[in-house]
Structure 1
Amino acid sequence: MKYYLPLIAVASVALLSACNKNDEPEVVGGPADPMAAELANAAPVELPPSVKANKQFRCKDNSLIFVDFMTDDKTANLRTEKGGSPTKLVAAEAGRPYTADGFEVSGQGDAVTITVPGKGAQACHV
Structure 2
Amino acid sequence: MARRRLNEPQTKAIIIALHTIKRTVSVPALDVFLRVREAAAVMKIMLPSLAAVALLALTACDNKTPEVVSSVSEDPQAAAIANRAPVELPPAIKAEKSMRCQPGNVLFFVTFFEGDKQARVRTEKGGTPVTVTAATAGEPLTGEGWTLTGTPTSAKITQPGKGDFTCKG
TM-score normalised by L of structure 2: 0.54
3-state DSSP of counterpart to 1:89: strand
2:144 maps to: 101
Equivalent of 2:112 in 69, 87, 91: 69
RMSD: 1.8
Structure with bigger helix share is 2
TM-score normalised by L of structure 1: 0.71
The answer to which of 74-83 and 33-42 deviates more is: 33-42
Q: Percent identity?
A: 49
2:98 maps to: 56
The answer to whether the aligner puts 1:112 opposite 2:161 as a matched pair is no
- Paired residue total: 101
3-state DSSP of counterpart to 1:39: helix
Give CA-to-partner distance per residue, 1:37-78, whole Å, 9 cap, x none. 212222222211111111110111122101111112111111
- Higher Cα Rg, which structure: 2
Distance 1:31 1:101 in 2: 48
Q: What are the residue-to-residue correspondences of 1:1-126 with 2, within 5 Å? A: 28=70, 31-60=73-102, 61-126=104-169
Q: 1:92 Cα shift?
A: 3.5
Distance 1:123 1:72 in 2: 22
Runs of 4+ in 1 over 6 A off after TM superposition: none
Distance 2:96 2:152 in 1: 11
Q: Return the structure number with greater relative CO, CA threshold 8 A, min gap 6.
A: 1
Give CA-to-partner distance per residue, 1:9-41, whole Å, 9 cap, x none. xxxxxxxxxxxxxxxxx6526653221221222
Structure 1 unaligned residues grouped into runs of 5+: 1-25
Structure with bigger strand share is 1
Structure 2 unaligned residues grouped into runs of 5+: 1-67
